[in-house]
Amino acid sequence: MFLDDLKNELQDFNNNDFFLGLTLKEKNYKKNHISAESSNILNVETSLENYKKSILILKELGITNFRFSLSWEAILPEGIGFVNQTKIAFYHEVLDYCIANEIVPFVTLFDFNLPEALEKKGGWSNREVLNWFENYASICVTAFKSKVNYWIVLNQSSIFTGDNFFLDKQSLNEKRLNSFLPVLHHTLLCQSIGIKIIKEIDPKIQVGIIFSSHIIIPKTLSNKDLNAADRIDAILNKVFLEPSLGLGYPIQMVPCLKKIYKYFLNGDADLLKVDFDFIGINNCKPLLVAHDLFVPYINAKVFKLTRNDSKNVFLEFELNTDLIYRIIKKYSKYEGIKKIFIIENTTSLLEENHSLSDYQAKEIIQIKTFLQQILNAKNSGGKVDGCFISSSNRMALD
């Protein structure tokens, strides 16, 4: 059985110095959220029995950490004001079942689910979102503080802020840039506000952030391509981390970001900098970058690597699992980062058309190899303390 095989392979990794968590991914998660996957929010319309089933799978595997997200709109249907106590009670039941089974919950406050009522008011582009988010965070943390010791404030802000428009030459224009900058700034301010609120409520609580990380590969070793790779690294990675560390926005690398000061108010620079306990990293596919004078603002062109590029030398780089080793070592160099958790690995090239048993066997090998590289990074000084592995429900629930 898949679970038995996976459990045997994980035993060597799950110990006091390095913990494991599990993400059970639903293919059709919009209809049936029974997972702790970062993009899956616990659907309060789904039977509690489904969540209990997921939690028992973790227990069977000997994995003691469960990651899931709250729904802002479920708790505050209008974004502010009325609090739906039925939904609060539902989350309490999920948390109680985790605790009863000695499962540690990692709870995310925001996961791509801004209430529609707030979207109509401008969403993240409206500076009022700082007050909205402060209110929401206070309600959640106050309600669940006795049951949650690990909070994640925002999940993958690069996705919901839409910064991938920098990778599309056709949409890279001043209008899009001017729409992106206030969203980016308000998002990072909310992140700091959330962290500070949690620490004010209980300083012992561990709090962090999740962001997507790409390894950026220059197409050649020419200075132009190397500098282009640095610019893409700045706009996809550094811009979502370094302001929180007190390093400011990477304006020197991407000068167009200086327009963000238009949205600063007094005190914003101090508010951006915040002390947090950990970062969670989603290990995304590497990106190949070359200098391109005709791409506005960043003068860089990104080539996405695909499964079909079988003859591309960089595909071998993706298959080589030292990719996650390099990411861990990269972020361990930041003095302000205390701990790293690997949240998800999205670099898998496993094909869906394999037989179930063949797919399961390959996924177990991939998970084991992936974890070994994480431990290699830890043993060589990396700040990584744990990893959440992912498995689709078609395997884990059989």
Q: Which of 212, 247, 217, 249 is nearest to 232 (CA)?
A: 217
CB atoms within 10 A of CB 214: 19
Q: Which of 228, 271, 28 is nearest to 127 (CA)?
A: 271
- What mean pLDDT is predicted for residues 62-71? 88
pLDDT band at 143 (very low <50, low <70, confident <90, very high): very high
42 pLDDT more than 90:
no
- What mean pLDDT is predicted for residues 233-248? 95
Instruction: Kindly give the interhelix angle for 356-379 and 2-10, rounded to the nearest 10 degrees.
Output: 10
C-alpha separations of 357 from 60, 313, 371, 392 in Å: 20, 30, 21, 13
The domains of the chain, with CATH numbers, are 2-396 (3.20.20.80)
Amino acid at 243: P
Residue with tokens 């708790």: 75
Please tell me the pTM assigned to this model.
0.86
What pLDDT sits at residue 323? 82
Contact present, 160 and 112 (Cβ < 8 Å): yes
pLDDT band at 163 (very low <50, low <70, confident <90, very high): confident
What pLDDT sits at residue 311? 44
Convert the pLDDT of each residue in 303-355 to its tens digit. Answer: 866 555 434 444 444 445 578 899 999 999 999 999 999 987 655 443 444 45
What pLDDT sits at residue 28? 32
pLDDT band at 30 (very low <50, low <70, confident <90, very high): very low
What pLDDT sits at residue 357? 55
- What mean pLDDT is predicted for residues 165-193? 89
Q: Which of 249, 237, 183, 189 is nearest to 212 (CA)?
A: 237
247 pLDDT more than 50:
yes
